[in-house]
Amino acid sequence: QVQLVESGGGLVQPGGSLRLSCAASGLVLGAFDMSWYRQAPGKGRELVARITSAGNSTNYSDSVKGRFTISRDNAKNTVALQMNSLNSEAPAVYSCNGQHFNYRILAYWGRGTQVTVSS
């Protein structure tokens, strides 16, 4: 019964910060590359950040590089996304994704948490 549950989303003023968290159960998070995606209404899902299973490499979209930081705590089975200087981001649902580092067919999605930047 694999489950990924996101939390930490909400309403934030322009220039503010939010920290999203993804808690995993039913799997050993240390065996999974973890990513954060976001999807705005009427638009496709966008890869925001990715971190390898061992946490030794990260990747960011150009639009968030320098402002967002992805991290993981395999002992706690959690992945986080620290989002700073939120300004031009459109309202979107941020979702957590895990893909096994070796058996790539093993991939899971969380339901997502909404993030809205508004004054």
Residue 80's beta-bridge partner residues? 21, 71
43: pLDDT confidence band, cut at 50, 70 and 90? very high
What's the pLDDT at 116?
Answer: 98
96: pLDDT confidence band, cut at 50, 70 and 90? very high
What is the pairing mode between strands 92-100 and 113-117?
antiparallel
CA atoms within 13 A on the CB side of 93: 16
| 90: CB partners within 8 A, 6+ apart | 40, 43, 117
Instruction: Tell me the per-residue pLDDT of 20-41, one tens digit each, with 9 for 90 and over.
Output: 999 999 999 999 999 999 999 9
pLDDT beyond 90 at 88: no
| 104: CB partners within 8 A, 6+ apart | none
Share of the chain above pLDDT 70, in %: 100
What's the pLDDT at 113?
Answer: 98
Alpha-carbon separation of residue 103 from 3, 88, 98, 99, 107 (angstroms): 18, 37, 11, 8, 9
Is 6 within 8 Å of 115 (Cβ atoms)? no
What's the pLDDT at 78?
Answer: 97
